[in-house]
Amino acid sequence: MNNPEELSNLRKQIDSLDLEIVTKIQERAKIASIIGEIKKAKGEPIYRPDREKEVYEKIKKLNKGPLPDTALTSIYRELMSATIAIEKGLNIAYLGPEGSFSHQAVRARFGMSIQSLQFPSIPEVFKSVETGKCDYGVVPIENSSEGLVNSTLDMLVNSELQIYSEIYIKISLYLLGFDSDLSKITKLYGIKIANSQCKNWVAANLPNCEIIETSSTAKAAQIVAEKKEGAAIASKIAGDIYGLNTIRENIEDLPNNSTRFLIIGRSQCLPTGKDKTSMVFSLSDKPGSLFLTLKPFYEKNINLSKIESRPTRRNSWQYNFFVDFNGHEKDPEINEIISEIRDRATFFRILGSYPAGEPLS
């Protein structure tokens, strides 16, 4: 490739392709804007995770390389993000501040062009969507090593909002601050679940450190940046945003740590053929009541991906059962099972039927 003329010709080909690509992108955006106007006139949601999933699957089938599927998916995510922005301009609520893992989940699902608003607590994220201030909210529901986020579970029971979609985000935790000498760090800031994910590392490396809980990992980074003291357990992006140095990286105790986030909204997503349904119910305290309630799933060979219990807070020693299973509420077979459970339950609610996300290994 030492021939200057050949290199010049290749660059001209790229210039020509760039012109074509930009033209086609703008043509696509114009058509998408027309579709957006039609959806708006019909009262249909602008953001459609079922359609989003369909686009990604189509792109993967069309991909012949050399770029991997992940690269093309990222490109199309930003294309759709920019298109949605000019269609309506969605507002997405998330557990802040900026740089939190919830914020990363917003970017991973909606791209960089969507407007997002930070809130200091999970209940406030729900409230912003319930009141119409935001179109959708992004909240953590469970971590692969530490389990469920109880605040989100409680809000799902008491809110009329629906789970609209889900996304899994890899969690890499960093020790951030200004002083690289661990012996000089006397205060450690972090959200409870992140602190727990790093407890062995902290015990071995910061045994005498005062641990101060914060509302999020990003808030921990923000506090350290403002106080100019201590260290934070947070994400790399939080360190970049708040001007902190990386003291140690990947301090989580277990590798392949990930968190599942929910996108909550005021409506339900249409079936895609690969869906998940979440529900919550409580039962009379009788022998075999839970077994009989879940038996139809076994009989119809439908996989239960999760079952958890949590106190109802209505009566002492009574529990809500949270269940995730494969399928959509609108599937006839699923609808039949749901009717049976509703008849047996003392309390019952469908939390949402939505496209199943891909867990990270």
- Tens of pLDDT, residue by residue over 74-95, are 899 888 888 887 766 689 999 9
What is the distance between the alpha carbons of residues 250 and 261, in angstroms, rounded to a whole number? Answer: 21
What is the distance between the alpha carbons of residues 190 and 56, in angstroms, rounded to a whole number? Answer: 35
Please return the burial class of 32, using the count of CB atoms within 10 Å of its CB with bins 0-12, 13-18 and 19+: middle
Q: Note whether 176 and 245 are within 8 A (CB).
A: yes
Separation of CA 314 from chain center: 29
Q: Along the 361 residues of the chain, how does pLDDT read in single tens digits?
A: 567 888 889 999 999 999 999 999 999 988 888 888 887 788 788 888 888 888 888 999 999 989 999 899 989 988 888 888 776 668 999 998 888 899 999 999 998 888 999 999 999 999 999 999 999 999 999 988 888 899 999 999 999 999 999 999 998 999 999 988 999 999 999 998 899 999 999 999 999 999 999 988 999 999 999 999 999 999 999 999 999 999 999 999 988 889 999 999 999 898 998 999 999 999 988 888 999 999 999 999 999 999 999 998 777 778 999 999 999 999 999 999 999 999 999 999 999 999 998 887 5
At residue 51, the pLDDT reads 85
- The topology under which CATH files domain 174-248 is D-Maltodextrin-Binding Protein; domain 2 (3.40.190)
- The topology under which CATH files domain 268-355 is Alpha-Beta Plaits (3.30.70)
Helix (H) / strand (E) containing 51: helix 49-62
At residue 39, the pLDDT reads 79
At residue 88, the pLDDT reads 66
Residue among 46, 112, 114, 45 nearest 74 (CA): 112
At residue 216, the pLDDT reads 87
What is the distance between the alpha carbons of residues 349 and 351, in angstroms, rounded to a whole number? Answer: 6
Separation of CA 236 from chain center: 18
At residue 314, the pLDDT reads 74
Task: Verify whether residue 259 is a known catalytic residue.
Answer: yes
At residue 81, the pLDDT reads 85
- DSSP per-residue string spanning 102-128: HHHHHHHHH-SSSEEEEESSHHHHHHH
* Sign of the C-alpha dihedral computed for residues 298, 302, 305 and 310 taken in this order: negative
Amino acid residing at 278: S
What is the distance between the alpha carbons of residues 162 and 206, in angstroms, rounded to a whole number? Answer: 42
Task: Verify whether residue 322 is a known catalytic residue.
Answer: no
Residue among 274, 268, 279 nearest 327 (CA): 274
* Alpha-carbon distances of 310 from 225, 238, 316, 344, rounded to whole Å: 37, 32, 11, 19
From the list 152, 259, 277, 293, the catalytic residue is 259
Q: What mean pLDDT is reported for the chain?
A: 91
At residue 361, the pLDDT reads 59
One CATH from 3.40.190.10, 2.70.70.10, 3.90.550.10, 2.30.110.10 for 90-171+258-263: 3.40.190.10
Q: Note whether 275 and 354 are within 8 A (CB).
A: yes
Residue among 147, 156, 161 nearest 320 (CA): 156
Residues of the chain with CATH 1.20.59.10: 15-86
Q: Note whether 160 and 297 are within 8 A (CB).
A: no
pTM of the entire predicted model: 0.85
Question: Each residue of 323-339: pLDDT tens digit?
Answer: 999 999 999 999 999 99
CATH class of 15-86: mainly alpha
At residue 2, the pLDDT reads 64
Residues of the chain with CATH 3.40.190.10: 90-171+258-263, 174-248
